[in-house]
């Protein structure tokens, strides 16, 4: 009699059941990883924009502003929330513009800055209006889908920018 090679129906069903269990465990972890990476990316872009504005203010020895913009092509500052577009200005000259990827409104960026702007003078110190920022002012990058990772971007001594990892809900 000839031997037939292959899987029995029971072996195939057990394999599919094990695969389904593994996928059920992996998908939520993968979702959390994707959200965390999105938040990290947006926090890094804000830190880069802050660093650029600060370095330009020192290089030019004049005031440079990073602020929220109404549209991607805007050349002036706008108050409001959340941040989606931003612009770096030296007087009326646009130095850089950017758009924050909200990933279909799953990521939100807000700030506690007055009029959603931070200015750096030639000394490189961050100011909110005329007051030097000492840590109370910050950006928050968070996921809108519930308790997820949060990145808080704060100003420290000598306008040093730091990113703190928190967990909670997006406010």
Question: What pLDDT, on a 0 to 100 scale, did the predictor assign at position 144?
Answer: 85
| Mean pLDDT of the residues in the chain | 88
Which DSSP state fits 159? Answer: G
pLDDT tens for 50-107 read: 999 999 999 999 999 999 999 999 999 998 878 999 999 999 999 999 999 988 888 9
Look at residue 28 in the predicted model and tell me its pLDDT.
75
Q: How confident is the model at residue 147 (pLDDT cuts 50, 70, 90)?
A: low
Q: Which two tokens stand for residue 131?
A: 């007051």
On whether the CB atoms of residues 85 and 100 are closer than 8 A, the answer is yes
Q: Can you list the domains of the chain with their CATH numbers? A: 9-168 (3.55.40.10)
Q: Considering the entire predicted model, what is its pTM?
A: 0.81
Q: Which residues pair with 96 in a beta bridge?
A: 88
Distance of alpha carbon 144 from alpha carbon 171, whole angstroms: 8
């Amino acid at each position: 009699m000839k031997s037939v090679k292959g899987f029995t129906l029971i072996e195939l069903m057990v394999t599919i059941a094990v695969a389904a269990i593994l996928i059920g465990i992996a998908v939520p972890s993968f979702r959390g990883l994707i959200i965390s990476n999105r938040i990290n990316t947006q926090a890094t872009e804000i830190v880069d924009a802050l660093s650029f504005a600060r370095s330009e203010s020192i290089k030019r020895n004049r005031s440079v502003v990073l602020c929220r913009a109404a549209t991607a092509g805007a050349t002036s500052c706008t108050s409001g929330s959340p941040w989606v577009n931003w612009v770096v200005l030296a007087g009326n000259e646009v130095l850089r513009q950017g758009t924050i990827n909200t990933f279909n409104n799953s990521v939100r960026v807000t700030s506690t800055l007055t009029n959603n702007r931070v200015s750096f003078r030639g000394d490189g110190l961050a100011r909110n209006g005329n007051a030097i920022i000492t840590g109370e002012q910050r950006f928050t990058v968070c996921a809108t889908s519930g308790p997820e990772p949060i990145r808080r971007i704060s100003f420290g001594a000598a306008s040093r920018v730091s990113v703190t990892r928190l967990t909670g809900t997006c406010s």
